[in-house]
Amino acid sequence: MNFFIKNYGCQMNIYDSARMIDILSAAGHKECKHLDEANIFIFNTCSIREKADEKLFSDLGRAKSIKFKIQDAGESCIIVVCGCVAQAKKEAIFNRAPYVDAVVGTQEIHNIANVINEVIEKKKNNEYSNVLMGVLNTKSKFEALKTTNITERSYSEYLTIQEGCDNFCTYCVVPYTRGREFSRDAKDIIDEAKKMVSIGVKEITLLGQNVNSYHGEGTDGRIWKLSRLLYAMAEIDGLARLRYVTSNPKDVSTDIAEAHRDIDILMPFLHLPVQSGSDKILKKMNRKYTTDEYLRCIDMLRAYKPDMAFSSDFIVGFPGESDQDFEDTLKLAEKVRFAQAYSFKYSPRSNTAAAKMENQVPEKIKSERLKILQDMLNNHQNEFNENTVGKTVDVLFTKRGKFKNQLVGRTEYSQAISVCDKSINIGDIAFVKVTEIKSHSLVGSVKKK
């Protein structure tokens, strides 16, 4: 059958979708880039943002009419919901959308081909096909995935090394949708990375909800920290760039800074979500670090790697956030001057502790604070980008642009950059002189080596 996967959410969902494509392709199904070419629709959902459920059900509504049309024409059509909303809602999805054939949780994606077969069987027998897979067993997922071959990849890819979370930040849904923290064995990670490189991947971003608390079994039988794994990854022939995301400030240690100093292919850019600049709010968020510790961590990394730049996540309007707490967040942002940052209004998630806290901040105040913070963060990002004008940067080109001979890539700091140059191809890494800034991206010309 022909399948189409709609991806919502974070990089981990992108990775999971890529693995489902591997599995379904191996089972003889064919991936399509558009829903109207497919007869298996897979929605790989995310529950991080507000109204995630509404978004899913409105997409499902549209898929339902297409499914009924296909069925009226005598063909078969299967709708599957995967990902974090699937994990959180499970059978409730069938109750609201009975035309959904299967709900597959985050740690069951390796079963996707079996699920499709089961649905096909049920349909053949004229049974109602509501297949539910919702067990949170991350170990068995990765055990199964390591034997699956890798099909097609781009030049820059994600590779999950750690999944789930034991931190229970009070706003966060992840422990409920991705389960307890699990680290894969280093051997499996390195094998998978080698397979990626053998089909042309140049840049790998190691993924984990708490990537820097990675503690998997090493190839020597000992427990490896993330830094040890980074050194091993750097030995893979043909791998040109290495990143990791997302780090928790409470787990940043000097060995990571040393890795940044020592490993050439490790990009000098770190996503280090701070969430708030108020110690009172950080405590209520259960983040387990203070603003002082956060700032010291940035200083330490800069001491080992002076050209290091940082990005971050912020939440404004967390329950109990006063004007003073928000001012403290602005002060922290001003001190660090992030190269990039994402900022969100706090919104309650079911099951989380913060959803039940008193002193929820009114929507109007959240919006006002978000605007002020975003203006500041934007200025810092522009300043960082403007500083690169006239300089030569290292770029990995990953796709073609809209214009003739235009190619788009990323700098070491993950800035989007475009050039127009016939001598360059996607997959190339080249030195580019930055000539101008256009909104949030850079424009440059290739420097001939």
Question: What is the binding site for ligand SF4 (CB under 6 A)?
Answer: 9-10, 12-13, 46-48, 83-84, 173-174, 177-178
Please list the residues that pair with 433 across neighbouring strands.
392, 445
With CB cut-offs between 5 and 8 Å by kind, which of ligand 5AD, ligand SF4, none does residue 171 bind? ligand 5AD
Q: How far is the CB of 207 from ligand SF4 (least distance, A)?
A: 10
Can you tell me the distance from the alpha carbon of 151 to that of 270, in angstroms, rounded to the nearest whole number?
Answer: 29
Handedness of CA 61, 350, 9, 329 (dihedral sign): positive
Q: How far is the CB of 161 from ligand SF4 (least distance, A)?
A: 15
Question: Applying CB under 6 A, what is the total number of residues that bind ligand 5AD?
Answer: 11
Q: Does 9 bind ligand 5AD (CB under 6 A)?
A: no
- Compute the radius of gyration of the chain from its Cα atoms: 23
Taking phi over 0 as left and psi of -120 to 50 as alpha, with beta for the rest, 126 belongs to left
| SS3 call for 49 | coil
Residues 335-354: x/- map of binding to ligand 5AD (CB under 6 A)? ---------x-xx-x-----
Whether 276 contacts 329, CB under 8 Å: yes
Q: How far is the CB of 181 from ligand 5AD (least distance, A)?
A: 16
Q: How far is CA 244 from the centre of its chain?
A: 10
Angle between helices 323-336 and 363-386 (to 10 degrees): 10
Can you tell me the distance from the alpha carbon of 449 to that of 434, in angstroms, rounded to the nearest whole number?
Answer: 16
Which of 148, 374 has the CB closer to ligand 5AD?
A: 374
Q: How far is the CB of 273 from ligand 5AD (least distance, A)?
A: 4
Q: What is the DSSP letter of 315?
A: E
Q: Does 40 bind ligand 5AD (CB under 6 A)?
A: no
Q: Does 216 bind ligand 5AD (CB under 6 A)?
A: no
Within 267-306, the residues that bind ligand 5AD by CB under 6 A are 273, 275
Please report which helix (H) or strand (E) contains residue 58, including its range.
helix 52-72
Task: Read off φ and ψ for residue 278, nearest 5 degrees.
Answer: -110, 125
Pairing type for strands 78-82 and 102-104 reads: parallel
Which of 110, 349 has the CB closer to ligand 5AD?
A: 349
Q: How far is the CB of 439 from ligand 5AD (least distance, A)?
A: 23
Q: What is the DSSP letter of 354?
A: G
Which of 9, 249 has the CB closer to ligand SF4?
A: 9
Q: Does 171 bind ligand 5AD (CB under 6 A)?
A: yes
Please list the residues that pair with 269 across neighbouring strands.
309
With CB cut-offs between 5 and 8 Å by kind, which of ligand SF4, ligand 5AD, none does residue 12 bind? ligand SF4
Q: How far is the CB of 179 from ligand SF4 (least distance, A)?
A: 11
Token code pair at residue 332: 């922290």
Q: How far is the CB of 12 from ligand SF4 (least distance, A)?
A: 5
Q: Does 248 bind ligand 5AD (CB under 6 A)?
A: no
With CB cut-offs between 5 and 8 Å by kind, which of ligand 5AD, ligand SF4, none does residue 347 bind? ligand 5AD
- HSE on the CB side for 327, CA within 13 Å? 3
Which of 52, 186 has the CB closer to ligand SF4?
A: 52
Can you tell me the distance from the alpha carbon of 383 to that of 158, in angstroms, rounded to the nearest whole number?
Answer: 29
With CB cut-offs between 5 and 8 Å by kind, which of ligand SF4, ligand 5AD, none does residue 84 bind? ligand SF4
Which of 55, 122 has the CB closer to ligand 5AD?
A: 55
Q: Looking at this protein, which amino acid is placed at residue 198?
A: S
With CB cut-offs between 5 and 8 Å by kind, which of ligand SF4, ligand 5AD, none does residue 432 bind? none
Which of 48, 236 has the CB closer to ligand 5AD?
A: 48
Q: How far is the CB of 366 from ligand 5AD (least distance, A)?
A: 10
Which of 178, 202 has the CB closer to ligand SF4?
A: 178
Please list the residues that pair with 3 across neighbouring strands.
31, 40
- Residue 75 burial (CB count, 10 A): 11
Give the residue, chosen from 143, 279, 293, 313, that forms a contact with ligand 5AD under the rule CB under 6 A. Answer: 313
Q: Looking at this protein, which amino acid is placed at residue 107?
A: Q
Which of 1, 355 has the CB closer to ligand SF4?
A: 355
Please list the residues that pair with 397 across neighbouring strands.
409
Which of 114, 347 has the CB closer to ligand 5AD?
A: 347
Which of 12, 186 has the CB closer to ligand SF4?
A: 12
Alpha helices (runs of H) in 305-412, residue ranges in sequence order: 323-336, 363-386
CA distances to 102, 246, 330, 367 from 284, rounded to whole Å, are 38, 21, 18, 21
Which of 177, 388 has the CB closer to ligand SF4?
A: 177
Q: How far is the CB of 94 from ligand 5AD (least distance, A)?
A: 26
The reply to whether omega before 246 is within 30° of 0 (cis) is yes
| Residues at the interface with ligand 5AD (CB under 6 A) | 48, 171-172, 273, 275, 313, 315, 344, 346-347, 349
